[in-house]
Structure 1
């Protein structure tokens, strides 16, 4: 326990505020102060301690049979701990502490102790804020919640149209009302379930362990946390939609003041539906599983093995040397942190290759979502035949990684139809591997007709030394390994080219339009990127 406390709460691990390193626990506390949905992480160590305390009588009767198998978890765990320390990122440290804890239990107590402490050890994983899961799940969960809410509301006779993560009142031909004339709601992150999902999963895991006997029943209750969280948010969206239709959006949702949404009392009250419905469902499922368990014969308790060998001083010494050696390696590693200069510029020209453009600065919503030191250079280029939105999203010294466009595009009403990797001649020394997304968005007019807009989005990530990555996962992996192997901390830029096509009536799509758009985007990239690279002081080939 003392060694784990050193790893988690004492040793400075990452530059959470980029003035000095702080421990893993310090970083978790900082995240909890910023985002209240992660406050539950701070309760996990106390819950784990309480679970172990409840077992104290049984643990005192268990034999101490240290196993050298513990080194198979402890040594990789400490190596991963150093890797995260050198890469200056917390996620390897989270995984390292889990591995190291398992290794310490095995090395000191043996497999019998590991089996008995398996759930408390597994429960420790809820201590780590899983921000990558949040970013990858938030928008898909928002879209799913909006889709399910729209389907149920239409079944109940409330005509709504889903536009990405938005719920709009349907067009009314008789009244001459266009889509969204009566109300427009958006399934924002607080309404998507992502902010209640992780805490509800923790509650269901703990409640299942205490109330149920079999691992199968506990797993069923735990898996039910996901649909229950979504169901709670569907009920919430139903209440907001009904309130908006009957009493107006200001009563149901609140006022929007200069881009900031002030929630109404009804909106706040509807928020209790998330946990109310989810917890009620969890208790109902658990009661059903308990009744099913009572109908079965309880398994005889397993006899605790006794006698045999004991943990030797060699086991204790190996544990101390492995953990101490890993921490010593961190202390001896250079703690200086310098972010490399960007490898590409952001000053997009006003005119390029016959295109005129307008500047599109960061809007209020983007400032709320993105980290404060992330900046955007963006212009909308137009000719009579083509329109291209060119963007360079530059990470900062704190927020070095950037999410993928497909994380937020569905929230803007775009339905992604396909994704593939292509090679693009960007006017550099070698072709760039990029991601191309094909998508569409439908809108309904006052006459009830549906029009479809299709679009392509070509993007990649540009590193400080000219390294490129086609995907989010690839650019994160390159960041980790280059920081460790090259001592290079990239300042990444997301280079994106979004090209919408002409709006067409549904069913009138031109099958060759995407090919023509892609060729125009390729030509646009080939002329523009070398100019941006030159702004960063890098020389593009002639």
Structure 2
């Protein structure tokens, strides 16, 4: 990132970032919960399936080919979108724990379905709400296909699960699938990049609280945006230390515990709120502890194993505090002794029916199978030739100031520096920075990489305290794919002008698009444009690269906004530099990723 106030070679310990929550999610919480279900389920009546005292023994229900065919048809129709969505989540640091959410849902499903099903709770056949849910889910999948929206496809799948479970297995299957279904909602990110906005809010809150604690400890520091400067060192409060990573992990732990043990709506809501509070406390403690170690004792803990150890330890403490909160709520909500002595009423025995596939399941399968196979056929007909290449991390580029020319018109290269961050860092794992100057103006340029696709740079500047005043997408012929220009401002009478574009290692462009909440809409607009071109017989635009993205930017800041002539000069410098870079890479023949 080159939008700071000092342009020097930045050491690798400037960012306070860790993936400890994902690690501690597995080693601190899941083993304990995985050990507790067996003993807990065997001795807690609330968690066990109905026994012979409640439902008479009878033959188990089997939905046979109808259930298998319906589930397979839905899976085939939505599989491409789920693959895209999981690939998208795997390269977002705050969703890297999503495999454990899937594992937790599988555990909940096993707990609820480990006893055989009976036909005692079949319920009314084909209610209107079930058919309405199936229709809404089907329409959602169709809309996801038209809009190329994996998010909408995931929401549609979640909408489909309850009515599909009810239609194929009745009320009993519907009831048993709900806990796993509820946990899987954590895999659906907020729409319109609301999670990024949440990251910014948590970063700001963590920075403010950490600054207050450092003030109380009489540690001299300066908070600028989400950067805490202490003794000339910049500690950037990133996603991990803002709480977004550990928040997702601890919320998943909490929801898993609530659903596994059936804590109830009231107690479960209080536990979820407590989880948010303990995460914020833990992450403020982490920022303060890192700052104290570096300033008071000279111990570098911003990166490396020390930071990982601090993150794991604090997350473990947060889990312990959450479990302690659960025990406190249990004590406060414990019923009176007289109420505890009163026996629970035993449910009346239900009638056991014959274990044959009910007509309702056959009717549901007869509707679901062809309707979703049609979606699958349309998808492969329209997109079957589109490959989903995995995002591989390219090797680090050789650090060389000669990657860009020494002189461009009046501009001369004055300085060069590099920066290395953690993998999947929001600002890019690697960056090479150049300083170009001419009389009365200096411009910072940067090449940052790798990103899994188009990376909205405006979020990075917002996280460091800049405000976006305006942004514009331009598509000149001499910049393939176009570029984005942004005007920014900052408290203290600071103004900035930013121009950036993105391309792959061979120089093939990613189409420029507006940032912020407008970025998700760009994908939908592009999908509509492709459909319109197909219908009108016009040639389709070239597909975007599927490999890692390289982001090139130029940035200038000052006490007053640039005049129109100054902005034009900066744009011309940007065009010349990115053209030189692409031509050099094209001459090298690209690089295999």
Under a length normalisation based on structure 2, what TM-score does the superposition of the two structures give?
A: 0.62
**1:272 aligns with one of 312, 319, 329:** 312
Partner of 1:196: 246
Partner of 2:80: 13
Q: CA deviation at 1:75?
A: 1.0
Q: Is the 8 A contact 2:105 2:184 kept in 1?
A: yes
Partner of 1:156: 217
Q: 1:156 to 1:461 in 2, by over 3 A?
A: same
Q: Is the 8 A contact 1:232 1:274 kept in 2?
A: yes
Q: Is the 8 A contact 1:38 1:129 kept in 2?
A: no
Q: 1:466 to 1:532 in 2, by over 3 A?
A: farther
Q: How does 1:313-324 map to 2 (within 5 A)?
A: 313-324=362-373
**1:104 aligns with one of 164, 167, 172:** 164
Partners of 1:115 and 1:49 lie apart in 2 by 11
SS at match of 1:69: helix
Q: CA deviation at 1:68?
A: 1.6
**2:425 aligns with one of 369, 390, 405:** 369
Under a length normalisation based on structure 1, what TM-score does the superposition of the two structures give?
A: 0.67
Q: CA deviation at 1:196?
A: 1.7
**2:377 aligns with one of 316, 328, 331:** 328
Cα RMSD for the two superposed structures: 5.2
Q: Which runs of 5+ in 1 are unaligned?
A: 15-21, 170-178, 255-260, 340-346, 441-451, 503-512, 538-542
Q: How does 1:102-501 map to 2 (within 5 A)?
A: 102-105=162-165, 107-108=167-168, 117-127=177-187, 137-138=198-199, 140-169=201-230, 179-180=231-232, 185-187=235-237, 189-211=239-261, 213-250=263-300, 253=301, 261-264=303-306, 267-291=307-331, 293-294=333-334, 311=360, 313-337=362-386, 351-352=407-408, 354-358=410-414, 360=416, 363-365=419-421, 369=425, 379-390=434-445, 399-407=452-460, 410=463, 414-416=464-466, 418-421=467-470, 434-440=485-491, 454-459=494-499, 468-482=512-526, 485=531, 486=540, 488-491=542-545, 496-501=553-558
Partners of 1:303 and 1:404 lie apart in 2 by 62
Partner of 2:107: 47
- The answer to which of 216-225 and 5-14 deviates more is 5-14
Q: CA deviation at 1:454?
A: 1.9
Partners of 1:143 and 1:354 lie apart in 2 by 40
How many residues end up aligned between the 2 structures?
A: 471
Q: CA deviation at 1:391?
A: 5.2
Partners of 1:469 and 1:277 lie apart in 2 by 42
Q: 1:120 to 1:487 in 2, by over 3 A?
A: farther
Partners of 2:365 and 2:371 lie apart in 1 by 10
Q: 1:42 to 1:318 in 2, by over 3 A?
A: same
Partners of 1:184 and 1:531 lie apart in 2 by 32
Q: 1:368 to 1:319 in 2, by over 3 A?
A: closer
Partners of 2:543 and 2:293 lie apart in 1 by 50
Partners of 1:207 and 1:424 lie apart in 2 by 47
Partners of 1:336 and 1:30 lie apart in 2 by 24
Q: CA deviation at 1:278?
A: 1.9
Q: CA deviation at 1:501?
A: 1.5
Q: CA deviation at 1:72?
A: 2.2
Q: 1:530 to 1:157 in 2, by over 3 A?
A: closer
Which gives a bigger RCO, structure 1 or 2 (Cα 8 Å, sep 6+)? Answer: 2
Q: CA deviation at 1:149?
A: 1.7
Deviations 1:115-171 (A, max 9, x none): 7744432212235688967655545534432331221132134444435545444xx
Partners of 1:331 and 1:424 lie apart in 2 by 33
Q: CA deviation at 1:198?
A: 1.2
Q: 1:231 to 1:34 in 2, by over 3 A?
A: closer
Partners of 1:31 and 1:6 lie apart in 2 by 29
SS at match of 1:498: strand
SS at match of 2:80: coil
Deviations 1:325-373 (A, max 9, x none): 333333444433379xxxxxxx97655563333475763238863799x
Check if 1:79 corresponds to 2:121.
no
Q: 1:375 to 1:24 in 2, by over 3 A?
A: same
Q: Is the 8 A contact 2:166 2:174 kept in 1?
A: yes
Deviations 1:66-125 (A, max 9, x none): 3321332331243256458xx5x7544433432332442354467897577444322122
Partners of 1:213 and 1:35 lie apart in 2 by 26
